Amino acid sequence: ILGMFRMNFPTSPVPIVMWHGIGDTCCNPLSLGRIKEVIEKEINGVYVHSISIGHGFAKDAESGYFMPPNKQIEIACEQLRSDDNLKNGYHGLGFSQGGQFLRGLAQRCSDPPMKTLVTLGGQHQGVYGLPKCPGDSKKYCDYIRRLLNHAYSNWVQRILAPAGYWHDPLDEPTYKKKSKFLADINNEVFINQEYKQNLVNLEKLVLVKFNNDTTVQPKESSWFGYYKPGSLVIQRLNETSLWIEDRLGLKKMGDRLVLLDTDGDHLQFSEEWFVTNIVRPYFK
């Protein structure tokens, strides 16, 4: 009888937590603010939380660049824990670097639990190169690039967020030893069973790659593909030791790991594509 009683009431929709990319902020009306409205229009009564790191827009934008991923994930975990609306779990939606940050969060912060994680143009195997330098200043770009030449120095790992997922395929030993974020969440050095379990516990892990992505280098990183160690030849997820040894549990997920692609440059998608391919199948 209790079961029937419950069935008579519609369950409230699973909340959604978004994490923005570099150069963006939690609540920009033209970007994540718009995405939030699209989701709310499609899922009646849904609660959407957009992660903001630091106090206010300017700080949030700056943190995307200059706060190490580990620290950002720590802050995000506390932020989600203190939001009562999320206590029964939520779906994650990560944009660009927000994709691997949300995955790190899922692995390190299982309370409240993440149900399904969707990443759009994430860099799950990191990046090697900065083909489109953000901003328009040559001087600034040169500065960032110069810093990334020393990406594995402790001090650069401490001050530049992308250094946390800088992945030099020509020097894998140094990457594994020195990368304080990506090598850790990808179980490169040792297998953290907690990470593996938390990832396998996801209902679905949906990875979207943009076929004409000129920002993520290489774009295959959105699907856990990358350069073959010691070379600049691309290998796909199922050719990597991550998959073969199933160090993260991705193989174990079976068809709950979903690889989607779409034409277009980095994060370029229409509202219709987003509703049809993401919101309806995975968030509703």
- The conformation of residue 28, written as its DSSP 8-state character, comes to -
- 4 in Cβ contact with 79 (< 8 Å): no
CA nearest to 201, candidates 159, 160, 256, 241: 256
Residues 143-162 that bind a copy of itself (CB under 8 A): 144
Q: Between residue 61 and residue 80, which ones bind a copy of itself under the rule CB under 8 A? A: 61-62, 64-66
Among the listed residues 32, 43, 46, 102, the single contact to a copy of itself using CB under 8 A: 32
Of the candidates 146, 119, 118, 114, the one whose C-alpha atom is nearest the C-alpha of residue 130 is: 146
Rounded CA separation 224/220 (Å)? 7
Q: Which helix (H) or strand (E) holds 234?
A: strand 234-235
List the one residue from 21, 92, 99, 218 that touches a copy of itself (CB under 8 A): 21
- The single residue among 14, 16, 26, 43 that binds a copy of itself, judged by CB under 8 A, is 26
Active site residue 96: yes
Q: Please, what is the minimum distance in Å from the beta carbon of residue 205 to a copy of itself?
A: 22
Q: φ, ψ for residue 44 (rounded to 5)? A: -60, 120
* 270 catalytic residue (yes or no): no
With residue 173 as reference, give the H or E element that holds it.
Answer: helix 172-178
Out of 49, 91, 124, 266, the active site residue is 266
Residue 15 binding a copy of itself, by CB under 8 A: no
Q: Tell me: does residue 219 bind a copy of itself (CB under 8 A).
A: no
Question: Rounded to an integer, what distance in angstroms lies between the CA atom of residue 117 and that of residue 203?
Answer: 8
Does 221 help bind a copy of itself (rule: CB under 8 A)? no
For 4, residues 6+ apart whose C-beta sits below 8 A from its C-beta are none
Could you say which of 50, 96, 179, 221 is catalytic?
96
When the beta carbons of 200 and 207 are compared against a copy of itself, the nearer one is: 207
* Residue 82 is a binding residue for a copy of itself (CB under 8 A): no
Residues that bind a copy of itself (CB under 8 A): 21-35, 37, 52, 54-62, 64-66, 95-96, 134-137, 139-141, 144, 215, 265-268, 270-271
